[in-house]
Amino acid sequence: MKILGISGTVVGSKTAIVIGKILDTMKIHNPELKIEFLDLRDYQIEFCDGRPISNYTGDTKKVIDQMMGADGFVFGTPIFQGSFSGAFKNLIDLIPPAAFKHKVMGFVTTGGNQQHFLVAENQLKPLAGYLNGYVVPTTIFAHNSQFNDKNEVEDVGLLECIREFSQQFCYMSEGLTGVKQN
């Protein structure tokens, strides 16, 4: 089973750091998982303009192919102006909704305002419903104060949340393996 962790931003590093920590923790829970990491900072992705996905080239095609081949997703995005990043939205728009159907997905958000934790509940989980994905019950919100001056996660509560999220994701993925999906 291939799990794709996605840092859905082209700026900053905290989202990528938390996604990396989650993927490492998932590997401990299930060493059999094939884990891949997609950091949008490393790609020049074209804007979605409605053309068939087969017409995209370069980095955009690479990212589409990586997304299409995943069995589950850990989506991460910083919160800007009370919503997820435009880069993340563009990525989701590039992929046909059927590619997410019956796949496990979990959400990680980062931000500087404590109220931003609501974005996962009010915007990302409904998106997962539209895409017919199976959502990990725990969502992660990482506030700037939970990182040290080297941008390492040091907050015990956040580390516990990462452990719980990773365990739930693995449990759901394993439980759904082999289930016939129409």
The string of pLDDT tens digits covering residues 79-131 is 998 889 899 999 999 999 999 999 999 999 999 888 888 888 888 899 999 99
pLDDT the model gives residue 68: 96
70: three-class secondary structure by DSSP:
coil
pLDDT tens-digit readout, 36-76: 999 999 999 999 999 999 999 999 999 999 999 999 999 99
Candidates 112, 45, 57; CA nearest to 79 is: 112
Distance CA 98, CA 35 (A): 21
pLDDT of residue 182: 55
Task: Say yes or no to pLDDT of 177 above 80.
Answer: no
Are the beta carbons of 160 and 20 closer than 8 angstroms? no
| Architecture in CATH of 2-175 | 3-Layer(aba) Sandwich (3.40)
179/125: higher pLDDT: 125
In this predicted model, which residue has the larger pLDDT, 43 or 174?
A: 43
Q: Taking the model in full, what pTM does it have? A: 0.93
**pLDDT tens track for 148-159:** 999 999 999 999
- State the helix-helix crossing angle for 14-29 and 156-176, rounded to 10 degrees: 50
Q: What is the pLDDT of residue 83?
A: 87
